[in-house]
Amino acid sequence: MKYLKRYIWAIAWVAYCTFMIFYFIPRQKEFYLDSDRDIFSDASNRFLLFLEGSVLLFLIIRLSPTVKDPGIFRRVGMILKSSIAITIVLALFFMWFHRDTAALGLYINRQISRGHVQRTYVVGYFDGDTTRASDVLLRDMASKDLEISDTLSRSAYRIRPHTGDTLQVDFKKGLFGVAYIDRLTFRKKLPGQ
């Protein structure tokens, strides 16, 4: 019991890191396309950097009047030292938690649905090999980009589309406007539709 009390914070930290790295963060990949997840991660990283910059600015403004050195250069030096120390701490915080905040944001996005998004893809196969789900290539008609998503490719492969088939896929739009996969629904789009 004495051992547990002594190392409770270390044990909690290891449990948190293990949960996030091996379960929570990888689990979000099942619900989002790589392109949507990357766009959201970039936005959440910018928000986190803005938040950290605001904290740094607030602390500099708040701590500046408390420096009581008589010379202006000493005061500036003390404020600069404090700013550098705070910046290093905030940089380490960003490096440790930027994936966690993005995964948490994606989880929160999925909790409230704000409509549906329909995307259209053209099917192709890598080297014409139609025997494996991993060889399914889906090209987004709107962005003309190749969509790389194991969940989407495996689900599309189940309906055995032919090369050149057009598939319509329904996604749900989440709280933050990011499309996510709730249950994939594929429809072959007939020519001329």
Mean pLDDT across the stretch 122-142?
Answer: 82
- Are 130 and 161 spatial neighbours (Cβ–Cβ below 8 Å)? no
Chosen domain end from 58, 90, 111: 111
Say whether both 107 and 46 belong to one domain.
yes
> Which carries the bigger pLDDT value, residue 91 or residue 3?
91
Q: What domain range includes position 138?
A: 116-189
Say whether both 97 and 143 belong to one domain.
no
Say whether both 15 and 98 belong to one domain.
yes
The pLDDT-based confidence of 124 (bands split at 50, 70, 90) is: confident
HEC assignment per residue over the chain: CHHHHHCHHHHHHHHHHHHHHHHHHHHHCCCCCHHHHHHHHHHHHHHHHHHHHHHHHHHHHHHHHHCCCCCHHHHHHHHHHHHHHHHHHHHHHHHHHHHHHHHHHHHHHHHCCCCEEEEEEEEEEHHHCCCCHHHEEEEECCCCCEECCHHHHHHHHHCCCCCCCEEEEEEEECCCCCEECCCCCEEEECCCC
Query: Is 172's pLDDT higher than 80?
Result: yes
Residue 163 — φ and ψ, nearest 5°?
-60, 130
The whole-angstrom distance between residue 138's C-alpha and the CA centroid of its chain comes to 22
Say whether both 91 and 165 belong to one domain.
no
Say whether both 184 and 96 belong to one domain.
no
Query: Is 99's pLDDT higher than 90?
Result: yes
* Domains identified in the chain, total number: 2
The pLDDT-based confidence of 144 (bands split at 50, 70, 90) is: confident
Say whether both 67 and 161 belong to one domain.
no
The pLDDT-based confidence of 114 (bands split at 50, 70, 90) is: very high
Q: What percent of the chain has pLDDT over 90?
A: 35
The pLDDT-based confidence of 189 (bands split at 50, 70, 90) is: low
**pLDDT of 48-68, one tens digit each?**
999 988 988 888 888 777 767
Q: Which amino acid is at 191?
A: P
Query: Is 192's pLDDT higher than 70?
Result: no
Q: What percent of the chain has pLDDT over 70?
A: 94
Say whether both 7 and 71 belong to one domain.
yes
The pLDDT-based confidence of 71 (bands split at 50, 70, 90) is: confident
Query: Is 85's pLDDT higher than 70?
Result: yes
Say whether both 81 and 135 belong to one domain.
no
Say whether both 105 and 134 belong to one domain.
no
Q: Which residues of 68-93 are buried (b: 16+ CB within 10 A; e: fewer)?
A: eeeeeeeeeebbeebbeebeeebeee
pLDDT, position 180 = 92
Say whether both 129 and 37 belong to one domain.
no
**pLDDT of 6-34, one tens digit each?**
889 999 999 999 999 999 999 998 899 88
Query: Is 190's pLDDT higher than 80?
Result: no
